[in-house]
């Protein structure tokens, strides 16, 4: 039976420099850590605009003795990305994916609309802006139609519309322990979602989406320089993930908004914390299509406990010459990784 989607979720301070409370290992809904009101002065205003966290358990448990998993990391541009078609192509082995292996999807900017979202924003100033595409794909409906397990936590509301967006972990295998926490507040409310695949205890998949600019007057980051503030956000993310998830190994992936790619301060702070970049199948210089093409999306892993032997990643291209403004409907390239377990 799916777990109800209207269970209450508590907000989180997340990475505040000290280890958050260890969540209930039996929790299915993302568990939000205890808020630090001294640091997050206005995040509750953002929280009042969004709906509840969602957990669905529709997939079967992973087979015993799993040694490899496939991972798709993708910013789906508020539901504009063609995730349905991508899942079908992956399952049909069109794109180097084996249906016999569990597939975990770490998706950023997924779209959700249901009755848990307030009809009108109680806090109109604290939304992510009305950037919803004409026909967004609802992540909960997608999970139901494809029989996937899902852990979703909203980050922000989509303007005045009765919908929100955030990060999600989807899987073709049952998911177990899950938790979520809010990043250091520098511009928008950003919630990280982490989950284990049931039957592979200790190995955690973490979906993150870092900020871009710095909000004047409200941000909690000590620095007023956007790049430095995001680097601090990345450093606190890494510390929080290691405090909660390191014992069995961690795969950390998402849109890190790193305009300088591997030289970006946020990227370097994550590597300095002990995370390793996934080995690339070939060298690409961008993952985002905009006026300037930028390398924003990354897959990292931390081999704590020796559970992860290797992670190799490739960029998926919609056009063989990488032309056009959209990639499978999104402005970000999907990243497909193979996670090989050891130990």
- Exposed (0-12), middle (13-18) or buried (19+): which is 330, by Cβ within 10 Å? buried
Looking at residue 44, what is its pLDDT? Answer: 87
Residues 298, 277: Cα–Cα separation, whole Å:
8
The answer, as to whether pTM is greater than 0.75, is yes
CA torsion sign, 330 to 334 to 200 to 63?
Answer: positive
The enclosing H or E element of 89 equals helix 83-91
Residues 279, 106: Cα–Cα separation, whole Å:
18
The helix/strand/coil state of 139 is: helix
CA torsion sign, 40 to 177 to 71 to 280?
Answer: positive
DSSP state of 308: E
Residues 333, 95: Cα–Cα separation, whole Å:
14
- Exposed (0-12), middle (13-18) or buried (19+): which is 26, by Cβ within 10 Å? exposed
Half-sphere exposure of 205 (CA within 13 A, CB side): 32
Token pair of 76, please? 């789906």
The tens digit of pLDDT for each residue in 90-118 reads 877 666 677 789 999 999 999 999 999 99
Residues of the chain below pLDDT 50: 1-27, 32-38
The tens digit of pLDDT for each residue in 28-79 reads 555 544 334 345 668 888 999 999 999 999 999 988 889 999 999 999 999 9
DSSP codes joined into one string, 192-257: EEEEEETTSTT-EEEEEE---S--TTT---S-SSHHHHHHHHHHHHHHHHHHHHGGG-EEEEEE--
Looking at residue 21, what is its pLDDT? Answer: 34
Token pair of 197, please? 């695949």
Domains of the chain: 31-341 (3.60.10.10)
Residues 184, 139: Cα–Cα separation, whole Å:
25
């Amino acid at each position: 039976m799916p777990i109800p989607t209207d269970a209450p979720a508590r907000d989180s301070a997340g990475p505040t420099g000290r280890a958050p409370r260890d969540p209930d290992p039996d929790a299915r809904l993302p568990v939000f850590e205890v808020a630090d009101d001294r640091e997050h002065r206005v995040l509750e205003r953002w929280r009042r605009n969004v709906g509840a966290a969602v957990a669905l358990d529709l997939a079967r448990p992973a087979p015993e003795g799993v040694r490899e998993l496939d991972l798709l990391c993708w910013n789906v541009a508020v539901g504009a990305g063609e995730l349905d078609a991508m899942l079908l192509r992956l399952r049909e082995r069109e794109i180097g994916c084996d249906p016999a292996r569990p597939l975990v999807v770490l998706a950023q900017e997924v779209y959700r609309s249901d009755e848990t979202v307030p009809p009108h924003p109680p806090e109109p100033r604290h939304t992510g802006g009305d950037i919803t595409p004409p026909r967004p794909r609802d992540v909960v409906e997608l999970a139901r139609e494809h029989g996937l397990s899902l852990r979703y936590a909203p980050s922000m509301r989509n303007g005045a519309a009765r919908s929100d967006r955030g990060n999600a972990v989807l899987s073709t295998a049952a998911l177990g322990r899950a938790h979520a926490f809010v990043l250091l507040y520098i511009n928008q409310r950003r919630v990280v979602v982490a989950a284990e695949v049931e039957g592979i205890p200790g190995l955690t998949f973490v979906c993150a989406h870092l900020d871009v600019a710095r909000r004047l007057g409200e941000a909690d980051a000590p620095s007023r320089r956007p790049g430095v503030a995001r680097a601090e956000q990345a450093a606190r993310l890494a510390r929080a993930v290691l405090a909660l998830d390191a014992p069995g190994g961690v795969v950390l992936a998402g849109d890190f908004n790193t305009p300088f790619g591997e030289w970006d301060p946020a990227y370097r702070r994550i590597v300095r914390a002990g995370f390793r970049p996934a080995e690339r199948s070939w060298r690409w210089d961008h993952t985002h299509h905009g006026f300037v093409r930028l390398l924003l999306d990354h897959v990292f892993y931390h081999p704590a406990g020796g559970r992860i032997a290797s992670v190799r990643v490739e960029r998926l291209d919609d056009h063989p010459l990488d032309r056009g403004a959209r990639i499978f409907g999104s402005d970000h390239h999907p990243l497909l990784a193979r996670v090989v377990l050891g130990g």
